[in-house]
Structure 1
Amino acid sequence: MKQFLALAAAGVSLAALMPAAALAQQADAPAPAEDEEPIAGQEIIVTGTSRSRAALDTPLAISQLDDTALARAGVTSQADILNTIPSIKADGGGGEVASNVFIRGLPSGGQFQFTPLMYDGITVLSSFGLNSSAYDVYARNDLGIDRLEFVRGGVSNLFGPGSVAGLINYISKDGGDELSGTAQLEVAERGRYRGDLALNGPLGGNFYFALSGFYRIDDGPIRTGLDTEGGQIRGNIEYRFDDGSGNIKLIGQYIDDQTTFYLPIPLDGPSRNRLRGNDGELVNSVQNQFDFASLGFNIPGGGRFTSEIADGVATRGGMIGLSFEKDFGDSGWGINGRFKYSDYSHKFGLWSDGDGVINVPETLTSFLANRNLGLPANAQFTFAGGGAVPANALLFANRFTDRDRPVDDFTAELNITKTLQTGSIDHAFTLGGFYGNATAGDFNVTTTYLAELNNRPRLVSLTITNPVGGAQTVISRGGLLNAGAGYVNNEHSAERFAGYIADQMKIGDRFNLDIGFRIEKLNGDIRRERTSTTVTDATTANLSTALRDVVWGNGGFLTGEVSTTEWALAAGALYKVSDNISLYANASRGFFFPELRSAAFRPLPAGTAANASASPGMQSFTAEIIKQAEAGIKISQPGLSLTLSGFYTSLDNRRQVLFVNDGQGGLTEQVNLVGTESYGAEATVDVRIIGDLSFAGNVTWQKAEYTAFDTRVLNIGNAVERQPEWLYNAGLYYDDGMFDLSVFTNYTGPNFTAATNAIELEGWNIANLDAGYTMDIGSNSLRLSLNVFNLFDTDAVTEGSPRQDANQVANGAFFVGRPVLPRRLTARATFTF
């Protein structure tokens, strides 16, 4: 498939570089009429509603980005786009995928835990928490995206997959009456090449199509020697009814892609700046394309495990879906629905940020002392490729985890709508249901290795000689420090049934009232393999216990079922003071189902064999209750859009899942039962300063703290970790149709690395620049542009080490954290026809 995608990319490049050929084919096409510029705030919102309404008429908070804004912001990952939206903090320091997405006031480890990611109203995955992979590993954005809608709070979030915290919905371009499209060639620093193509148009006989895709190769914003390569194809074929009463659309996607994910690295403790390695160069990454065969090891039952960590985050598979909508004449009745089946093979190569024991760089002497291995005089440190390790060198023991995570998902949504008039009230009723059935595997093997502290480090072997008797012990063999340090083999399945009813009312000319109710049931099946420690290498002499013994599955499984039912109620009201000013308020009582990976078994009966399969029953599994309220004002008129609101959120019974060190070199998923409360204010502004120059920005202020914390009561009253008090975006945008220039910045305020509030990270700004020149070629256009991500090469830390959680050292010589990605220049040639 990658070969096919590469050929497609070559075609994209040719299309971008040969506009004359495209011009000849389109010579007879009429020039597109210039649309009148929309009034800010009058954009039509379609996400999660039976009645499409302008943002000014909707009693909830709305954010919308068009395709121009998406192209300007989305140069690295989903995080770059979502960071521009008020109330969202998104960490993109990990690279293209697995963005950590935080919604104001809510505690999580990130990764879309409160916000479904949807394309065309179809959720990428119906249940989060079957494993810890983020939604964005299964799908990528491309030129086929028309806009992004983020809707939070209120009745709209009761529909479909549901989420009272908000819905992230990318809406694709549809086919038009004439063939049109965009071809783009992108070249960036450090070996990035990407080709994109998006086409849409008529097929004849009321059929229309839209097709988009990309292929790219990339050495990465940080060079590691690991590959980023692959692409995706998306598209739809639509049939539109003659009478304009609706459509039927077939939707498809195929992805075959791999990319590198970056974890926190050792930094200087006092300054939290990047360290210099043994070679004197700054350490930007501790990952490398090692000889992974040499890091393999024997496994129980025969055979050998060899890591595929070099594949990074690899996803292959796709989805097929069907959506439809139909209005039945003047009766007021209508029906709409969406169905989807997806199947992905997915591997997530996770490089950790320490060995799970010491977790910071060590001198040769301190490495030995920290593990009771004696004095340097009795140790032989050598590089795996040959040569002695210098006595003044720094070492960094680290881990990686091979995670194999196949997933399949079926979703169905069906809505019956009815509009009717009762006196002065214009009703829009929705009666609907949602079904989701997802199964995901989670097979993890953790390996610990020893290496030098360098960019793309070399592996280190270590042998210890006992001064009494001369016996030797191999501590690190070819860099392998702990064979099979951790093993997980889980399978989780979630089946969801939801029904909802809502009425979105227009009362007279000035008043809108929404009210809705949702009830949902979750059934979960859990299957987890048990483990044992087994001697797998009894023939190689002098091996340490960590190299000789392997933690591996023993064939016994714990199985169980959970089930819970919850309800949500939401209401919203809006009063139009004038045609340009609205006052609104909304409130909701909703829920989140706990992640199935957080469900715990009851203790096994005494005497149960270590490898026995058993079903001991499950501990308490109840929904997490969220209550929200928001009130504000919206002002919208030509040249100015302004919103100001205040909000309150409480979350009870939250099963917070953290992926943390177990203290023995392995990793475990720690579950805390917590409650939080937050309040704050939010504002947005979009104003035309003069002519073609405008300013846009938003700011969020919040106070979020823990009200409950079962595993550490001292955390009650502390600020929610990784949630800053202040977030803002601000930008100047100039576009006269020929020249365009955008300079915009995103600010993330100080925030704590863990719930103990022991370590606070400083706030930081990331500035970006996007500039272009557009030339007309007949009825077509060619834009040449330059984008600079992290314009001032800000060297800030986005997070500490989540795997260390509260055990991270506040004032040590070293600090483990993930810096923002460095400055990167990207050039584009975009041909629109």
Structure 2
Amino acid sequence: MNMNRLVLGISLALASLHGAAAAAAEAPAAAPASSRQDAKGSSDAATLDTVVVTGAARTQRRFDASYAVNSLTREDVQKLAPKSYADLLGSVPGIHVEATGGEVQNITRLRGIPTDRGFIAFQQDGLPLYHELDGNFFNSGDGMNRIDVMNQRVEVVRGGPAPIYASSGGAIVNNILAEGSEQTQGKAQVTVGDTGLYRGEMYQSGALGKDTFYAVGGFLREHDGYRDNGFPNDKGGQIRGNIKHYFDDTSWFKVSGTFVDDHNTFYLPIPVADPRNPNVSLDPYINYFTGTLNSPALRSVNLKYLDGAGALQSMNRDLADGRHMRFGNVGFQYENSASDWTISFKSGYTKGRNTFDALYSTTNPVDGTTFANSYLNAARAAFGPGVARMGYALAGSNGASVYNPNTDSGLVMSAQYRAADSDFYSGQADLSATRLFETGMGTHDLNVGVYTAFFGSTALNVYQDMLLQVRGKPDLLDLVAYDANGNPLGYVTDKGTLRYTTTLNRGEVDARMFAVYANDTWTITDRLKIDAGIRHERYHYQGYAEQTAQANLGDPTTLADNTTRRFTGVVQNHELSPKATNWTIGANYDLTSAIGAYARASHMEVVPNSSVARSIDPTIVTTKLDQYELGLKAAYGRSYLYLTAFYTKFDPLNASFVAFNPVTGRNDQSVPFIGTAVSKGVELDGMFRATDWFSVSGAVTASDPQYKDLQNDSGADPAAVNGKQIVREPKLYGNLRPSVNFTVGDNAFETWLRYDFVGKSYVDLFNQTALPAYQTLGLGVSWKRGNWGAQLVGDNLTNEKGLTEGNTRTDALAGQGSAEAIYGRPLFGRNFRLMVSRSW
């Protein structure tokens, strides 16, 4: 991206708005407080009056909500100091995260739902930036949303009425941005980290004129990374802003804009132990905490395939480009409460492009000699009987720079370079009407609305297998066929490429959907409240996918191009019209003003993603998700406790894990299991403030996620899977955060610990290879004096070892051949960040 341009844009915007605010301040408007104040988010989440707006027709206190909801203010986020959006969500109960993939596109799972994103719908001021949860190698969660000081707060609804207010919403994460008021205010913050992190962010809000207010902010960041790629990890930023105008005390409109241009490197699993002897660590070759297979050797990778006309196409890709997300969003919102009905209209349009470059893990490392000899017969068949032996050389050296794995780890490995490009757009709008009715048996607060979206995307995906050393920042290798005199006769590889273009996809889809919804909150007495809602959705997908076939590119000097994929010129067209109906019903009863209980049942139907219409021979399955909740809540002073028991049923579950085939280089090995996934558990979210200077916060989830009623039609025994723990889902996870604060004169200090724990889980369906339990310890210290502040945060202070994910390309069916995982995404090592800020 053009960093100078974005810096200049943020600076000019803030400078011009600051000037306008100063001019307006000479004659400030007397805005009615009832409609012109920002909704209050409490910096002390323990108070009863914490306000939430997500998952309801009107603003309400968190304590009054009949579902599990958290509100994280700007101050809360500052204190948590998350390394990524997933890291932030890991502080909330019921959401298990694997935040080891880098800054974006991490794994978030909700209450045992066996998907990588857990049907968690992200919104910005109540509307998604992109209608679907997942695009082509990006998602509309942390793939598109980024936290900075422009966020006034983040609200997280787990279960509850989420299916009524969001498509495919098992949960909702709503980013609520700052808005302006008569008083000019803002914040600037600089963050530096010992991992080569440099980040600046700021926002400012105030008055532009009579009844017109603004807010604008953003961030710029460059980061070498938590792992040593040999090139910068993250670089880019975003700018967001809005202007809001009040016509009178009952109506207003707001226009907003968001622009993101950001590069993020993706960390994939690494081998941590020798598969020939799992007791032997590979740490001397690839460091557990800082090592990665990402490498400068992959800064210029040539991808080859034949197009539909038979012409050879070539793409040159750079791994340092990472996931490059660029998009712009414009929004318009209007509200009018002049009549008995409150009319609300929200709309937005997003257009963007995502290019993706990453090195994916495939098979385990193998003994170098064994791997080389496995190609001896194929080399003799291709290059003649004069082939005497197989050997390795550094890629591109024409066999001259000989490499002997036995002088190193003794191992070699293959990995898959994935390049994926996508253009996308999404326009969405929501129109709703809310009215409060008085009846003889209490009041009804009725909310009815319509939602529509028009969206689409293109996709070009090219995968290619590379041969590597087993070490951090590995060199590419060539596997060479030598004669008896040591002369190269041919190559299994081609400049480090083991197999050209083993996977090739291209397609496009345009989609539209329309939904109607209604929700009624019936307040029977001051203590008893019942609400129910329904949402019906209809979709239409129209797209195409280009068919592929196996091809030989015809180079007689290498085997790397013998089994590539090519486009045939034949196109599959698809037109699909799925539909879904969701509902919810809940009740809330307050025993006293500070003790209450709630119960809820929700049903959600999830239609196939629009990508099925740009896929070859797609499988069309509508999944049903049922959630049942029973909650208790209590508050005393500034202490509180929310306890939620839940039961989740996911049906049908397609547990047909597709595995990487090292012979073809494609994901074409599968054992299909169809059944259900269930999870029952308890979430605890609380804070105990013992004194004015000491408190303990915590979020703990204990559950039992397991497979049920699986069936298999190809001879596999489902009894070996039924009742087993769901892949990568621990039974226990959470965090505890004791905190001490004190003042010295005009200086306010706070220090806290963060203890995170994750229980044992498994990489495979049969629970043969475990991801061991782990615990990490973090520390934070903050100082404030007037408008100035500073904060030092350290993570994983003890360098605790822990693995996430496993190697999903190969181990989901049969494990890793060891009792504990020897391949996975390790936790990041000990790291520190210092933040210095000034508010005004």
Report the counterpart of residue 521 of structure 2 in structure 1.
Answer: 504
1:3 aligns with 2:3: yes
Instruction: State the 1:680 CA deviation.
Output: 1.5
1:766 offset after TM fit, Å? 2.7
1:640-655 equivalent positions in 2, closer than 5 A: 640-655=639-654
Of residues 552-561 and 270-279 in structure 1, the stretch that sits farther from structure 2 once superposed is 270-279
SS in 2 for 1:690: coil
Taking structure 2 as the reference length, the TM-score comes to 0.88
Distance 2:517 2:49 in 1: 28
Q: Which runs of 5+ in 2 are unaligned?
A: 16-20, 29-39, 381-386
Query: Matches of residues 430-829 of structure 1 in structure 2 within 5 Å?
Result: 430-465=447-482, 472-538=489-555, 541-544=556-559, 546-548=560-562, 550-597=564-611, 621-655=620-654, 660-663=659-662, 664-667=664-667, 673-711=674-712, 713-714=718-719, 715-736=721-742, 738-776=748-786, 781-804=787-810, 805-811=812-818, 815-829=822-836
Q: Which residue of 1 aligns with 2:383?
A: none
1:592 CA drift (Å)? 1.6
Q: Is the 8 A contact 1:772 1:786 kept in 2?
A: yes
Task: Provide the C-alpha distance between the structure 1 equivalents of 2:227 and 2:288, rounded to a whole number of angstroms.
Answer: 14
Q: Which amino acid in 2 is paired with 1:683?
A: L
Instruction: Check if 1:365 corresponds to 2:369.
Output: yes
Q: Name 1:238's counterpart in structure 2.
A: 244
The aligned counterpart of 1:67 is: 74
SS of the residue aligned with 2:320?
Answer: helix
Q: 1:184 aligns with which of 185, 189, 210?
A: 189
Is the CA contact (8 Å cut-off) linking 1:739 and 1:774 kept in structure 2? yes
Q: Distance in 2 between matches of 1:660 and 1:821?
A: 27
Deviations 1:463-521 (A, max 9, x none): 11366999822112321221222211133443221111111122221111111111111
One-letter amino acid matched to 1:345: R
Partner of 2:340: 332
Residue type of the alignment partner of 2:230: G
Question: Does the aligned pair in 2 maintain the 1:5–1:231 contact within 8 Å?
Answer: no
Shift in alpha-carbon separation, 1:657–1:143, aligned structure 2, 3 A: farther
Matched to 2:88, the amino acid is: I
- Give the number of aligned pairs: 790
In the superposition, relative to structure 1, how do residues 702 and 469 fare at CA in structure 2: closer, same or farther (>3 Å)? Answer: closer
Confirm or deny: 8 A CA contact 1:194 1:214 kept in the other structure.
yes
**What's the CA shift for 1:590?**
2.1
Matched to 1:745, the amino acid is Y
8 Å CA contact retained: 1:451, 1:459? yes
CA contact (8 A) 1:594 1:654 kept: no
Which one of the candidate residues 333, 336, 340 is aligned to 1:323? Answer: 333
Can you list the C-alpha shifts for 1:742-787, whole angstroms capped at 9, x where unaligned?
21122211111122222121111232222111122xxxx1112211
| SS in structure 1 of the partner of residue 4 of structure 2 | helix
- How far the C-alpha of 1:316 sits from its partner, in A, is 1.1
Q: Deviations over 1:501-560 (max 9, x none)?
A: 11112222111111111111122234221112333344xx4222x235531222211121
Match of 1:382 among 387, 390, 393: 393
Deviations 1:260-287 (A, max 9, x none): 0000011115768962355999871011
Deviation at 1:56, TM superposition (A): 1.6
Q: Post-superposition shift, 1:600?
A: 10
Which position in structure 2 is the counterpart of 1:263? 268
Q: Is the 8 Å Cα contact of residues 659 and 802 (structure 1) preserved in structure 2? A: no
Letter in 2 for 1:634: K
Structure 2 counterpart of 1:199, from 190, 195, 204:
204
Contact 1:515/1:570 (<8 A) preserved: yes
Q: Distance in 1 between matches of 2:155 and 2:41?
A: 24
Q: What are the ranges of 5 or more consecutive residues in structure 1 without an aligned counterpart?
A: 16-21, 604-617
When the two structures are superposed, what TM-score results if normalisation uses the length of structure 1? Answer: 0.88
Q: 1:207 to 1:116 in 2, by over 3 A?
A: same
Query: 8 Å contact 2:605–2:625 — kept in the other structure?
Result: yes
Classify the secondary structure of the residue corresponding to 1:59.
Answer: coil
2:729 counterpart letter in structure 1: Q
Matched AA of 2:738: L
Deviation, 1:35, is 9.1
8 Å CA contact retained: 1:84, 1:746: no
**Distance change (3 Å), C-alpha of 1:11 and 1:657:** farther
Provide closer, same or farther for how the CA distance between residues 83 and 279 of structure 1 changes in structure 2, counting only shifts above 3 A: closer
Conserved 8 A contact 2:163-2:603: no
Deviation at 1:96, TM superposition (A): 0.2
Question: Compared with structure 1, are the counterparts of its residues 717 and 562 closer, same or farther at alpha carbon in structure 2 (3 Å cutoff)?
Answer: farther
SS in 2 for 1:4: helix
Q: Could you tell me which amino acid in structure 2 is paired with residue 259 of structure 1?
A: N
Residue 145 (str. 1) matches residue 151 (str. 2)? yes
Q: For the residues of structure 1 that align with 2:265 and 2:45, how far apart are their CA atoms?
A: 40
CA apart distance, 1:710: 4.5
- Is residue 2:98 matched to residue 1:91? yes
Identical-residue share of aligned pairs (%): 24
- Residue 55 (structure 1) aligned with residue 62 (structure 2): yes
Q: Does 1:102 align with 2:109?
A: yes
660-669 or 479-488, larger mean C-alpha shift = 660-669
Query: How big is the alpha-carbon RMSD for the aligned residues of Structure 1 and Structure 2?
Result: 3.2
Maintained 8 Å contact 1:564/1:622: no
SS at match of 1:405: strand
Q: 1:312 aligns with which of 322, 330, 337?
A: 322
Residues 223-302 of structure 1: matches in 2 within 5 Å?
Answer: 223-227=228-232, 228-243=234-249, 245-268=250-273, 275-277=282-284, 284-290=291-297, 292-293=299-300, 295-297=302-304, 299=306, 300-302=310-312
8 A contact 2:43–2:73 mirrored in 1: no
Counterpart contact for 1:682–1:701, Cα < 8 Å? yes
Q: Residues 338, 811 of structure 1: CA spacing in aligned structure 2 closer, same or farther, 3 A cutoff?
A: same
SS of the aligned residue for 2:162 comes to helix
| Distance verdict in 2 for CA 1:34–1:626, change over 3 Å | closer
Give the distance between the partners of 2:95 and 2:544, measured in 1 at CA: 34
* 2:439 aligned residue: 422
Question: Is the contact made by 1:160 and 1:433 (CA closer than 8 Å) also made in structure 2?
Answer: no
